[in-house]
Amino acid sequence: MKLTPEQRQHFDEHGYLFFPGLFNPQETQNLVDAVPELYSRQEAYNVREKGSQAVRTNFAAHMYSKPFAKLARHPRMVEPVEDLFGEKLYMHQFKINGKMAFEGDVWQWHQDYGTWLNDDMMPTERAMNVAIFLDDVNEFNGPLMFIPGSHKKGVVDAKHDLTTTSYPLWTVDNALITQLVQRAGDKKGGIVSPTGPAGSMILFHSCLFHASTSNLSPWNRVSVYLSLCAVSNHIRRHKRPEFIAHRDFTPLDCLPDDCLIKDYPVDLPWANGMPASAMETSLEEMQVAA
């Protein structure tokens, strides 16, 4: 799937692209059906909400779940990012965020590249987030909020919030968010929140400021988030476990477009359990061959 000149211009100006209903109901349902069993596992890669058993984030499903391994290689997701970067990609991070009905907690205002820089020593912002809705997303069940054009600010200083939620995040102070929202249009478009049916997809820049509120509605808002990074821009430090920040920089090869509804072979390296090495961490900078 290639981007049109108009889409490329919109991404450059606003920092995101929204594709409502990009994946059809059958494709989406095959992913939805796999989620409950993944969330039921008592594993380190399932991060629970603070004070609850509701899953906040399931990490690395593409390493042990066939439906999500196929999604990780889907051309509708990979090709537009390759098109923008002009380079092959690897999977930096893969997560299925729960945002469950009544229990899904907030995600504070942040930039993803801020975390990738501070924790993983990713050299530049040549990485992209892809969000795919597994549930219908509406104004009530904690949709993503973006500040359009805020990616042009570049990466900013952030503080490491270790207490607000069950997952640590490099967050941005309220004064800067207020300034950026005012600059983007204040009450007239300073914050946007794409909503739409299950199967919709968002591409957004790794420096785009974003957040989401808690989900107090009776409707789940489960979404897949895939962080695709240019191979030349791979991380230089293994401070975080491998199930959070991947260390295999092999370029992704796409499967056929119908891969979510047809059977294609995929590798599942953690099908028999996550290796102990995936929990090993280091603060040392990796040496990169010239």
pLDDT digits (tens, 9 = 90+) for 10-42: 999 999 999 999 999 999 999 999 999 999 999
pLDDT computed for residue 158 by the predictor: 67
pLDDT computed for residue 167 by the predictor: 66
What are 253-264's pLDDT values in tens digits? 999 999 999 999
What are 176-230's pLDDT values in tens digits? 989 999 999 999 999 999 999 999 999 999 999 989 999 999 999 999 999 999 9
Domains of the chain: 5-279 (2.60.120.620)
Position of tokens 């795919």?
132
Q: How confident is the model at residue 266 (pLDDT cuts 50, 70, 90)?
A: very high
Q: Which residues contact 143 (CB under 8 A, 6 or more apart)?
A: 137, 193, 194, 195, 212, 221
Residue 58 in contact with residue 197, Cβ under 8 Å?
no
pLDDT computed for residue 56 by the predictor: 86
Element at 159 (helix H, strand E)? strand 159-161
Tokens read off for 271: 């099908």
Q: What is the mean pLDDT of residues 90-118?
A: 90
Amino acid at 15: G
Q: What is the mean pLDDT of residues 134-152?
A: 95
* CA angle 128–129–134, rounded 5-degree value: 155
pLDDT computed for residue 290 by the predictor: 40
